[in-house]
A = this chain, B = another copy of it.
Amino acid sequence: MSDYSAVKAALRRQHIETPSWAFGNSGTRFKVFEQEGVPRDAYEKIADAATVHRFTGVAPSVAVHIPWDRVDDYSGLAKHAEDLGVRLGAVNPNVFQEDEYRLGSVCNPDPAVRKKAVAHLLECVDIMDAIGSRDLSVWLADGLNYPGQDSIADRQARLEEALAAVYERLGENQRMLLEYKFFEPAFYATDVPDWGTSYAHCVELGDKAQVLVDTGHHAPGTNIEFIVAFLLRKHRLGGFHFNSRFYADDDLMVGAADPYQLFRIMVEIVLGGGLDSASGVAFMLDQCHNIEPKIPALIRSVQNVQEATAKALLVDVDALRSAQRDGDVLGANGVLTDAFATDVRPLLAELREEMGLDPDPIAAYRRSGYAERIVAERVGGAAAGWGA
């Protein structure tokens, strides 16, 4: 634990990507509560993302969602980001919000719909080229609501074909991150429901296909750190969509529901080399701030990832390995719980000061007047939201 400088160095290197869509309004199927000052277009979302980076220092990129962030000039958008001190990150296609997709996108029984969906995925690779993005984050809402509605096996075949077409199109330094999700919006069967399905497709596609773990997309009780450890070992962990949940895909702030789980995930990341930039593990947020203000919620989320990472870096690995070798159950577990019990807020405050940042990002944000400014300025026009 004495090696704080190494811990701090690792924390400086860890970058956490914010999602453009989390700055817009979101909600449940029951109601989207509108907030004042939310962005009205991709440019304003990026400005908010840059604000999160300005106060945290470790969120230098922002993921985009197409068509929610569709613009005429993507290199202009990238330039806009750069001007604000950030860059565009992963590109997230959307093949679930047009009426044609009622029965699925790339798995749809209708070949015309599948073609349209694949075309959109390919368009997103074009956008990646334009903005210099490495990662295509593929989440498919495809699935069935009723038994018998469609052939599970045929849909896998269609999925395979579509993924292959997109994979083929990837450039040298580009990757496809295939996200899985237990359920929602499909309520009976989902076409990529679990890490096993994603992994199997990735292995068949090739090294540029990697599994994307959204921490909210699992069956109750699933041990996520096992999946993380397994995928890291197989060099198939593309990255995370971080958020937290008590029940389903609640999309709460990461670490808000079970900070010890987030810590355990980060322990596997640290032990498995996932913090090395060579690992290619992308740390991305994917959240919905339905009732809380969005920018401070994202700042808090970045801090939560940092706190979990800091604690994971404080694990006494030699003591852990030794206790594990000896079969000392309580001792080995105690090494982990000791690290978790440590209050890392002072360490992070120190790190921020060394980085020229305010030690308390949310307080600094509050004092900055940014919140008041966007409420005053962003008047008129339609607030961005899911689907807008």
Q: What residues make up the interface of A, taking CB atoms closer than 8 Å to B?
A: 26-31, 33-34, 96-97, 99, 101-103, 109-110, 141, 145-154, 156-157, 182-185, 187-190, 193-197, 199-200, 203, 218-223, 225-226, 229-230, 232-234, 245-248, 250, 252-253, 256-261, 264, 267-268, 271-272, 290-293, 296-297, 300, 307, 320-321, 323-325, 327, 329-330, 332-337, 340-345, 362, 386-387
Contacts and interface: CB of A to CB of B under 8 A. Distances in A.
Contacts of A256: 146-147, 333, 337
Contacts of A259: 260, 337, 340
Given A248-B184, A252-B146, A221 B219 contact: yes
A149 B332 CA distance: 5
The number of times this chain is found in the oligomer is 4
Contacts of A340: 259
A119 B153 CA distance: 39
Contacts of A34: 99
Which residue, of A223, A225, A257, A259, has the highest number of chain B Cβ atoms within 10 A? A223
Nearest to A98: B31
Nearest to A300: B330
Given A184-B247, A229-B156, A247-B221, A291 B102 contact: yes
Contacts of A157: 233
Contacts of A246: 183, 187-188, 221, 223
B151 A324 contact: yes
Contact of A268 (B27, B152, B221): B152
Given A31-B387, A195-B196, A259-B340, A220 B223 contact: no
Nearest to A199: B196
Nearest to A145: B291
A161 to B, nearest CB: 13
Contacts of A343: 341-343
Given A30-B97, A200-B230, A258-B260, 13 more contacts: A102-B291, A102-B327, A146-B330, A149-B324, A152-B225, A152-B230, A153-B268, A184-B248, A187-B247, A188-B223, A200-B234, A219-B221, A330-B362
Nearest to A325: B109
A323 to B, nearest CB: 8
A194 B223 CA distance: 10
